[in-house]
A and B are shown apart, each in its own frame.
Chain A
Amino acid sequence: MALSSLLLLQLFFKRRQTIVKKGTVVEPSGSTKQLIFFFGTMVLVTLFFNRLGFPLSSFLLMLTLLRILGVKRWTFNLPLSFMTAIVCYFLFVQWLKIPLPKGWVGL
């Protein structure tokens, strides 16, 4: 442990010379709200990934993210998300036999 901190210190000293250049400041705009929602959705889905199971999670994820990015027509959004979830399920779980969380839907 001591040795590793020695190595780190060595490099820390090099770091002292850095000038942190902060680039453009992020201005709050409509797109930032989008960003926050987007990220938030990812976090939420991850929280419930195990409980919801893979097929349901992927469906909800697609649905929500598409909506956030502006796909308003449900006739498009719903079937696309549904199809994606189904295709992925078959591809990964059935065909490639990769273990993915089952959730209470039991798939």
Chain B
Amino acid sequence: MFESLQHLINGFGIATTIHNLLYCLIGAIVGTLIGVLPGIGPIAGIALLIPATFGLNPTSAIIMLAGIYYGAMYGGSTTSILLNVPGETASVITCIDGYQMAQKGRAGPALAICAIGSFIAGTIGIFGLVFLAPPLAEAALAFGPPEYFSLMVFGFIVLSNVTGTSLTKSLMMAVIGLIIGTIGLDPVTGDARFTFGSISLLGGIEFVAVAIGLFGIGEVLVNVDQPSEMLEQHVFVPRLRELYPTLQDLKKSIGPILRGTGIGFGVGLVPGPAPVIATYASYMTERRISKHPEEFGKGAIEGVAGPESANNAACQSAFIPLFVLGIPFAPPTAILLGALLIHGVSPGPMLIGQHPELFWGVIASMYIGNFILLILNLPFVPLFANILRIPKKILLPLVILFCITGMYTVNNSIFDIWMMLLFGGLGFLMRKWAYEGAPLLLALVLGPKLEVAFRQSLMISHGDFGVFVNRPISMVFLLATAIFLVIPLIRMVLKKQRKEVS
């Protein structure tokens, strides 16, 4: 362990050279810009800038590209809060309470808490990465298809009522999400499902299109539906003092931030779009633990602090499988893998041993990057908050422009834009009739994976359902799910008994 510390110090030495600091800064700035623009997320950003790194040495290249990755995470929350448009997929949950806070004139504190929470999460996360990387990676390997299935069942059941509004409505939304998730090629047999002969549907419906459509475009349409006088107004803009979080805000947020970090770090180790799931899990936890859950959905700062920290922590832990096993679990890390390969560095068990300066240099620069982003973002909070001063009738067209452009940049596909508009319309209707979008998105993300894991498990076990309970980890999750479902029932029964007695 002390060897690790020694390496880390070396790493700091490397990361703080003028060159690398500069690359880190560039990466962070570009990443933030990319994150702010809806649609284009770290994936595209990193991929597009790989050619720009050709002339650099591997360490500097990865420092810059990693900077883009979490810069994008930071930037994504900005548009979520200000415009209810998720800057990138993991920022969806932030829209829920963050936007409400902005509507109440508390955009400043929301943005600031995001930055602060992300920073704290990032810092703790990095230490986790440094000291726990190898054992965590081994643990991650122990997850095979049956374990994933059970984990996802657990996640799905627990998280589908994430916002706490009507359970039945949430379930309905979740079911719709599941159905949408089946569109495209069956991952196991290769058959086309629900594609109606359309080539564009073969790949399924792009998650980003649904997310931006439901939340961003939906929100814009709701606004447009209001009479013209309302559009002249702008959102209530606070005085300078109100632009930063109060002491009370900070006190309230510390718990969520720490919990979010823990949750995010753990979830980030699981393959798939971990940051998204981490945010859902954190939000759910905070809501359950909170002494005043009614505030959630109306601008509770815990609902922003927790998920954002989880988000950032999940990004950190996503690096573990990449560096230790050489296997990327989330799409952005896949691109980073590619970048590493192009630079002649092959990630895998040998990476840390063969290229210690790369590994530790990148880790150190991650810390510095977090720090830079904090410094970059905090002063900009008033600037960003002032964006809300722009009268809605000018702001709304701009938002649409950015949504359409951003959407296109994901897959260079006009079809995606159509999908986005379609879901925009749907999102509008959903708002009118008080349905929540979050469960739909969760189902869209988890559903396909759940199905694949289920079928893979059965294929491996030749149809034996026992495979789910014979393996300890899988069993644990299934039990947890069962307990979770049963507890409310027990409570109800106990309440009835008590009533009868008294």
Give per-residue flags for B414-435: 1 if the beta carbon is below 8 A from chain A beta carbons, else 0.
1001100100110000001110
B234 in the interface (beta carbon within 8 A): no
Instruction: Specify which chain A residues have a CB less than 8 angstroms from the CB of B33 in the assembled complex.
Output: 96
In chain A between 11 and 33, which residues have their CB closer than 8 angstroms to a CB of chain B?
11-12, 14-15, 17-19, 21-24, 26, 29-32
Which of B228, B393, B414, B451 contacts A3, CB < 8 Å?
A: B451
Give per-residue flags for A69-100: 1 if the beta carbon is below 8 A from chain B beta carbons, else 0.
11100000000100010001000100011111
Number of interface residues of A (CB under 8 A): 50
Q: Give Cα A34 to B396, complex, Å.
A: 13
B26 in the interface (beta carbon within 8 A): no
Which of B34, B168, B451 contacts A19, CB < 8 Å?
A: B168
Q: Give Cα A38 to B441, complex, Å.
A: 26
Q: Give Cα A46 to B422, complex, Å.
A: 12
- Whether the Cβ atoms of A45 and B404 lie closer than 8 Å is yes
Give per-residue flags for B391-405: 1 if the beta carbon is below 8 A from chain A beta carbons, else 0.
011101110110011
- Whether the Cβ atoms of B425 and A11 lie closer than 8 Å is no
Which of B171, B401, B451 contacts A14, CB < 8 Å?
A: B171
B249 in the interface (beta carbon within 8 A): no
In chain B between 434 and 459, which residues have their CB closer than 8 angstroms to a CB of chain A?
434, 450-451, 454-455, 458
Which of A21, A22, A42 contacts B421, CB < 8 Å?
A: A42
Q: Give Cα A7 to B34, complex, Å.
A: 38
Instruction: Specify which chain A residues have a CB less than 8 angstroms from the CB of B182 in the assembled complex.
Output: 4, 8
- Whether the Cβ atoms of A65 and B179 lie closer than 8 Å is no
Q: Give Cα A29 to B168, complex, Å.
A: 32
Which residue of chain A has the shortest Cβ distance to B34 in the bound complex?
Answer: A96
Looking at B73-81, B96-104, B110-118, B218-226, the stretch in contact with chain A turns out to be: B218-226
Which of B174, B224, B458 contacts A38, CB < 8 Å?
A: B224
Give per-residue flags for B163-193: 1 if the beta carbon is below 8 A from chain A beta carbons, else 0.
0000011011011001100100010010101
Q: What's the interface size class on B, roughly?
A: 35 or more
Instruction: Specify which chain A residues have a CB less than 8 angstroms from the CB of B401 in the assembled complex.
Output: 58, 61-62, 84, 88
Knowing A4-B451, A61-B401, A84-B398 are in contact, say whether A18-B425 is a contact too (CB < 8 A): no
Knowing A31-B227, A98-B40 are in contact, say whether A23-B171 is a contact too (CB < 8 A): no
B409 in the interface (beta carbon within 8 A): yes
- Whether the Cβ atoms of A69 and B227 lie closer than 8 Å is no
Which of B169, B228, B398, B412 contacts A99, CB < 8 Å?
A: B412
Q: Give Cα A51 to B185, complex, Å.
A: 30
- Whether the Cβ atoms of A8 and B224 lie closer than 8 Å is no
A107 in the interface (beta carbon within 8 A): no
B231 in the interface (beta carbon within 8 A): yes
Which of A18, A23, A30 contacts B434, CB < 8 Å?
A: A23
Q: Give Cα A39 to B232, complex, Å.
A: 20
A1 in the interface (beta carbon within 8 A): yes
Q: Give Cα A12 to B417, complex, Å.
A: 30
B48 in the interface (beta carbon within 8 A): yes
In chain A between 44 and 63, which residues have their CB closer than 8 angstroms to a CB of chain B?
45-46, 49-50, 54, 58, 61-62
- Whether the Cβ atoms of B224 and A11 lie closer than 8 Å is no
Knowing A18-B171, A19-B168 are in contact, say whether A31-B393 is a contact too (CB < 8 A): no
Which of B48, B179, B432 contacts A96, CB < 8 Å?
A: B48
Instruction: Specify which chain B residues have a CB less than 8 angstroms from the CB of A99 in the assembled complex.
Output: 409, 412
- Whether the Cβ atoms of A46 and B418 lie closer than 8 Å is yes
From residue A3, how far is it (CB to closest CB) to chain B in Å? 6
- Whether the Cβ atoms of A49 and B228 lie closer than 8 Å is no
Instruction: Specify which chain A residues have a CB less than 8 angstroms from the CB of B143 in the assembled complex.
Output: none
Which residue of chain B has the shortest Cβ distance to A43 in the bound complex?
Answer: B421
- Whether the Cβ atoms of A100 and B224 lie closer than 8 Å is no
Give per-residue flags for B346-374: 1 if the beta carbon is below 8 A from chain A beta carbons, else 0.
00000000000000000000000000000
- Whether the Cβ atoms of B405 and A92 lie closer than 8 Å is yes
Which of A18, A21, A35, A50 contacts B225, CB < 8 Å?
A: A35
Which of A17, A35, A61, A100 contacts B397, CB < 8 Å?
A: A61
Instruction: Specify which chain A residues have a CB less than 8 angstroms from the CB of B418 in the assembled complex.
Output: 46
B44 in the interface (beta carbon within 8 A): yes
Q: Give Cα A14 to B371, complex, Å.
A: 47
B408 in the interface (beta carbon within 8 A): yes
- Whether the Cβ atoms of A62 and B397 lie closer than 8 Å is yes
Can you give 10 A-B contacts (C-beta < 8 A)? A3-B458, A8-B179, A14-B171, A22-B433, A30-B228, A31-B224, A42-B217, A49-B404, A66-B397, A92-B405
Q: Which 4 residue pairs spanning A and B have beta carbons closest together? A: A65-B397, A69-B393, A18-B168, A23-B433
Hey, which bits of chain B sit against chain A, CB under 8 A?
30, 33-34, 40, 44, 48, 168-169, 171-172, 174-175, 178-179, 182, 186, 189, 191, 193, 217, 221, 224-228, 231-232, 392-394, 396-398, 400-401, 404-405, 408-409, 412, 414, 417-418, 421, 424-425, 432-434, 450-451, 454-455, 458
